[in-house]
Amino acid sequence: MVNRISLAFLIFGSFSGCLSSRESQLQNSFVPLSNSDPKYFEREFFKSENKTLERRLSELPQDAALPTAWSDTFLPNRWAGAAVRWYKDTKLGDLDVPTSRPDMWTYKLNSLNELKKMSLESLKLLSPAEKFDILMGRYEYPLTNVERKRTDPNHQNWEGTCNGWSTAALKFSEPPPVSITNRDGVVVPFGSSDIKSLLMLHQFFIERYKKYAILGERCEDVATPKMELFFPKWLSEDSLDACSDSNAGAFHLVLTNMIGRLKKGLVFDVDRDSEVWNQPVYRYSTRVISRTPTSALVNTRVWYAEEEMPSWEPLTINKKNVEVMATYNYVLELNSKGEIIGGKWKDGQAVDHKMHATYHPDFVWYAEGEDANYKLDTFTDKFKNRYKLDKPIEFGAIVELWELSVGKKFNFRGMDRIPANL
């Protein structure tokens, strides 16, 4: 199982730390204005719609599901991200241990004259970044070069853009293949994973979200949850806080309110160690096992998409999407009104799809960007300074490409799609 985050996405580390576990009792109660406080989700996603977070356990939906999030790669950095020529490549390894591919940084970028002489099958072999550059008539290949500069064949196995994948898989329906003739007469064939890779980059490079909230901090210890339980002295106090601050009561409130009431997905970092495994969560089912006036023992299942190797055809419609169900057990603390005021995890008492003991998510988050109204100037300075680009990349065109592929548009900036049988 894979699911990682790029070192470029360390936004979670910027959040202020909480009090020590012994002082704040993070495992049992919310700490106001800390990363265990669900009010951040209420402020970002509910108040803007004149709604409030429902806190009464009896009023929260027990079951809820959104459209299935799609599987795909997390664009491993060892493959050069979206500059990977994945189509019909049998030497990429797998997503647990992606093969380091230095050749993805050295393959020749084709001129317009060379592209016009290439067969459709040869054009299919190009990377998602190359295809986007060609579609936009940018034969200096700005996006391809950005990806080559952003990534490295010596990066860790887990480094990639899983944050971009997770949010894209929740926001955009899975695209089918589409081919477009650009303004210079070059047919650009996009497979499903080509478009999904570009959507991941669209989400990955967003610097300022319109709405963003996180529950918990990133746990950066190499230790496993079992080590934390049995050998707490091995871990630093600060990291213990970050590894335990995703309060079970706050988790239940965010999960049931966001997916059940607001119909918005969530992203979980499902492993609590130094690596980050972001997963797009789109469904849950929760049951109260027992209850007293002040507490409730709860069993909750969540469903999320898992990574899969790239494919030309979409996975969901062909029933090849890879999905995982995880089970969490916890105790909710209630006040006299039946409102959730805290909670405590009962880790290790359930198993995952591989029959491994499960532990609660490290952190939970969701973000909404600018989507189709994406502004070019958001990235202008960043790309000019870091990647030495004089002319910005039109990332908003990625959403327009997706809209064409799923039938929301009839052409791409005046350029018609090619019939599927050609």
Give me the helices (H) in 182-247, please: 192-204, 225-230, 237-244
pLDDT computed for residue 49 by the predictor: 79
- What is the rounded distance in angstroms from the CA atom of residue 170 to the CA atom of residue 173? 8
Per the DSSP assignment, residues forming a β-bridge with 292 are 295
- What is the rounded distance in angstroms from the CA atom of residue 214 to the CA atom of residue 211? 11
Taking the model in full, what pTM does it have? 0.85
Which amino acid appears at position 360 of this protein? H
H or E segment and range at residue 412: strand 411-412
Q: Report residue 264 as tokens.
A: 């918005």
Q: Report residue 183 as tokens.
A: 């303004």
Instruction: Decide the pairing of beta strands 178-181 and 415-418.
Output: antiparallel
Q: With b meaning 16 or more CB within 10 Å and e meaning fewer, what string describes 301-337?
A: ebbbbbbbbbbbebbbeeeebbbbebebbbbbbbeee
Cβ atoms 164, 204 nearer than 8 A: yes
Residue 305: phi and psi, rounded to 5, are: -80, 150
H or E segment and range at residue 405: helix 396-405
pLDDT computed for residue 24 by the predictor: 35
Q: What angle do CA 32, 228, 350 make, to 5 degrees?
A: 85
Give 164: exposed, middle or buried? Use CB within 10 Å, 0-12, 13-18, 19+. Answer: buried
pLDDT computed for residue 360 by the predictor: 77
- What is the rounded distance in angstroms from the CA atom of residue 314 to the CA atom of residue 196? 10
> Reading across the β-sheet that carries 411-412, which strands appear in turn?
187-190, 178-181, 415-418, 411-412
How do the pLDDT tens digits run along the chain, 422 residues long?
A: 444 333 333 333 333 222 223 333 444 667 666 777 888 899 999 987 788 999 999 999 999 999 999 999 999 999 999 999 999 999 999 998 999 999 999 999 999 999 999 999 999 999 999 999 999 999 999 999 999 999 999 999 889 999 899 999 999 999 999 999 999 999 999 999 999 999 999 888 876 678 889 887 766 654 444 444 444 443 343 434 455 557 899 999 999 999 999 999 999 987 765 667 789 999 999 999 999 999 999 999 999 999 999 999 999 998 999 999 999 999 999 999 999 999 988 865 555 555 554 677 888 999 887 644 554 444 555 676 778 787 888 888 999 999 999 999 999 999 988 865 44
Cβ atoms 270, 216 nearer than 8 A: no
Of 173, 158, 159, 165, nearest to 198 by C-alpha is 165
